[in-house]
Amino acid sequence: MRVELDKISKSFGPVQANRGISLTFEAGRIYGLLGENGAGKSTLMKILSGYQTPDSGRILLDAVPQQFRSPLDALAAGIGMLYQDPLDVPPFTVLENYLLGQPGGLAIPRRTAADQLRQLGQHYGFDVHPHERIEDLSLGERQQLELLRLLSGGAQLLILDEPTTGISAEQKSVLFNSLRDLARKERKTLILVSHKLEEVQDLCDQAIVLRQGDYVGGAKLPCPSRKLVNLMFAELPRRAPRPRPVAGTPQLELRDLVVRTPRLALQPVDLSLHAGEVLGLAGLEGNGQELLLRACAGLLPLAGGELRLAGQRQPRLDYLAARKLGLHYLAAGRLEEGLVSGMTLAEHMALVSQNGLFVDRAASRAQTRRQIKQYQIVARPGSRVEELSGGNQQRVLFGLLPDDAQLILAEHPTRGLDLRSSDWIWQQLDLRRREGAAILFLSADLDELLERSDRIAVFSGGRMSRLLDARQTSLNELGHLIGGGA
């Protein structure tokens, strides 16, 4: 199937997301769609997948104009999109979520559907367990299910929006091998939306670059990464060297901490984090680091051991109590856990800044305008958060951080962000650190862990296996330890 975008334009109020973009996608090829946050990539792909309608322009499939009123229309025509945040129902099982995407839905015999799902997973190299609940799966496993749903629906062109963010290196390898087979053996067209140049170079045949809503160029791959960077950014900020931390008072202390879920038991952890320190959590997905981070935030119950915040023992910690002690949690799922879809920026500001039964809307709008200016958010006080790019959503989350946050727990803080936006996020975190806050963060990016951490806790097989000085550790050594090496 040959897919053409002809002069696609889309605006959200005064923000022009796409400006007359024309592109062509051929069957059997893998395209990398690049650009900094807010460049218009996600909007363009949402238009192609039927999630949004363009203000002007056309979509043509094999030279035939199309009008998509919904993602179902697009999928019926052979176009499916794997979103950065999977579109599933967490309380349901894998099988139930699979059935929701099938003609006939829940009326299909479950044994038949479970067999179909297992066979489909085996065909594409995915390990699928039909009767597991979605809320017990890793992000990578949820993405695999979403991809299988699209393929079973007949998708000939697949759009993948930051598919490797938050998944392990092993899961990425499985995913990339499957994507190559889809393009080479089954002649499907793939569009990879990503900020990770090394992944685009590794997987894709051609790069397409957007900047501020315009198509600015492309290149056959592989090519020098500097060429792609120059197309993506007019200029990159210089990074200031990070000073060594001066350890302050303990903000977080763990003694023989144990966390258990139906899928994994985290072995006893002993760890301390001091004011002014940045501690990174490393490990393949599903090895316990996520459990530790959520338990420290009061989002998972403790099965044993002791947790202290600012020197105070917390036998029954919950997130509201943790917030009162100066802890703040930045979730990787911006629209799943961090923000509220359908609500405006001003309404979010009212939620975190005002007390009592009544809301001073004028004060909330004024405060929101100040935060928009300070955090360089491309939006208005009345903009709904789901309309914003991923980078701007992350900036909103930082704008909601209280000034007195003493312990910041961040889950994949630069998930899906470009180089400039990632640097900006770490500038904000470094500012908090210099003001005395302690930072505990989780990342699947080894370079980020080495560059941004003072110490790194390595997790393997459900236990904390190493505690490393980031300045004395190499990338090869960290990767070896994460893989379970001695």
CB 40 within 8 A of CB 17: yes
- How far CA 242 is from CA of 100, 252, 275, 440, 462, in Å, comes to 49, 22, 16, 17, 31
Q: What is the pLDDT of residue 236?
A: 58
The three-point CA angle 197-280-376 to 5° equals 60
Alpha carbons 138 and 120: distance in angstroms, whole number: 19
Q: What are the two backbone dihedrals, phi and then psi, of residue 101, each rounded to the nearest 5 degrees? A: -95, 5
User: What domains are there in the chain, each with its CATH number?
Assistant: 3-232 (3.40.50.300), 250-482 (3.40.50.300)
CB atoms within 10 A of CB 150: 22
Q: How is residue 428 annotated by DSSP?
A: H
Ramachandran sector of residue 412 (left: φ over 0; alpha: ψ -120 to 50; beta: rest): left
Alpha carbons 485 and 479: distance in angstroms, whole number: 9
Q: What is the pLDDT of residue 122?
A: 85
Q: How is residue 470 annotated by DSSP?
A: G
Q: What is the pLDDT of residue 123?
A: 83
Burial class (CB in 10 A: 0-12, 13-18, 19+), 319: middle
Q: Strands 250-260, 304-309: parallel, antiparallel or unpaired by DSSP?
A: antiparallel
Task: Walk along the chain (486 residues) in steps of 10 and give the mean pLDDT of each run.
Answer: 95 86 96 87 93 95 94 92 82 88 73 88 83 81 85 90 72 84 92 87 94 91 86 66 73 93 86 94 85 92 92 86 89 85 91 76 89 88 87 88 91 82 88 92 88 92 89 84 69
Please tell me whether the overall predicted TM-score, pTM, comes out greater than 0.75 for this model.
no
Name beta bridge partners: 125: none
Q: What is the pLDDT of residue 7?
A: 96
Q: What is the pLDDT of residue 328?
A: 94
- Decide: helix, strand or coil at residue 43: helix
Alpha carbons 325 and 328: distance in angstroms, whole number: 9
